[in-house]
Amino acid sequence: MLTPLRMRILEALQEPASAASLAQQLDVPRQRLGYHVRELARAGFIQKAGRSQRRGFVEQRFVAVARRFVITPPECADLGGAKRAASPGPSSHMLLSLAARTQDELAQVVEEAHQARKPLSTLSVHADIRFESAAQRAEFARALSEAVAAVVAKHTSPAVGADGAAGTGRPYRLVLGCYPPPPGARFGEAALHAHFSSESSHG
């Protein structure tokens, strides 16, 4: 949902406006902007804010549902301009930063793939796990890190060549994270699941 254009729309809709006036303000074709407005409304980021009369036509106006959104990437977190809250501890902050970069970069490549009408290959891994002690959790982290390092070394090409230049082949970024789910979240339904898809971005 959070493409650069949609973020510009959310910023502009801090005050009610119609799709037509937004298209003129953001210098975007009316039909294209109308599509993004509908998607933002469908996802609950904006809502209807009455109608206005313009050049003999009645236009629907929209407004952002909040001035602040707790959504990554970081530039999305505070559309109202207020300072961000103090960051959590180092480990959780690192995981949030990785999640932010993942969402930011994925949004960009999805948009680029859509514009180029090319498929986009992604890998997702999901599992629900439990630890009975800190020692067990630490051993899991060590074993997982070693296993991932071994798989990367065996099954991928070097990111950087011996001469310091970028390696050959298409680059991918791998991110792994582990965190306790919030109270009330569904848990225990997902055994280890990995899926590498080459989805069509224009189907």
Domains in the chain, please, with CATH? Answer: 4-76 (1.10.10.10), 90-199 (no CATH)
pLDDT of residue 1: 61
Alpha-carbon distance of 203 to 93, in angstroms, equals: 37
Of 38, 40, 15, 12, residue with least CA distance to 27: 12
CA distances from 23 to 12, 63, 66, 148 (A): 11, 15, 21, 47
pLDDT (tens, 9 = 90+) of the chain, 203 residues, equals 667 888 899 989 999 999 989 999 999 999 999 999 999 999 889 999 998 877 777 899 999 997 766 555 444 444 444 434 444 445 777 787 788 788 778 878 888 888 888 888 999 888 999 999 999 999 999 999 999 999 999 999 988 888 888 888 889 999 999 988 888 888 876 677 777 776 654 43
pLDDT of residue 81: 43
Contact partners, residue 120, CB within 8 Å, separation at least 6: 109, 110, 113, 198, 199, 201
pLDDT of residue 77: 47
